[in-house]
Amino acid sequence: MTALTIRLPDSVHRKIKELAADDGISVNQFIASAAAEKMASVMTLDWLRAQASQGRREDFLALLDAAPNVPPPSGDTPV
């Protein structure tokens, strides 16, 4: 495991301590979890962009053209 020193505004540090205590975890665990969540979010966005870049508009339009043109089932209406 690696140690990392970070500087936080006092207000942020206080809130992190409060939230970690409410969750019954340490500040270190809270920050590690927050960093992992952010990392997963960024990696997911990168993956989605990579997948989207492989798509072709022509294929999408062909798929839409193949879909039946029928009204939605009862109860399936926009909100």
Tell me which residues of the chain have a pLDDT lower than 50.
none
Which residue's structure tokens are 């936080």? Answer: 8
State the pLDDT at residue 74.
86
Q: What's this model's pTM, rounded to 2 decimal places?
A: 0.67
Structure tokens at 54: 């492989």
State the pLDDT at residue 71.
87
Number of other residues whose CB lies within 10 A of the CB of residue 25:
14
* Cα 16 to Cα 44: distance, rounded to the nearest angstrom: 25
* Cα 36 to Cα 11: distance, rounded to the nearest angstrom: 22
State the pLDDT at residue 75.
86
Which residue's structure tokens are 């966005």? Answer: 45
State the pLDDT at residue 48.
97
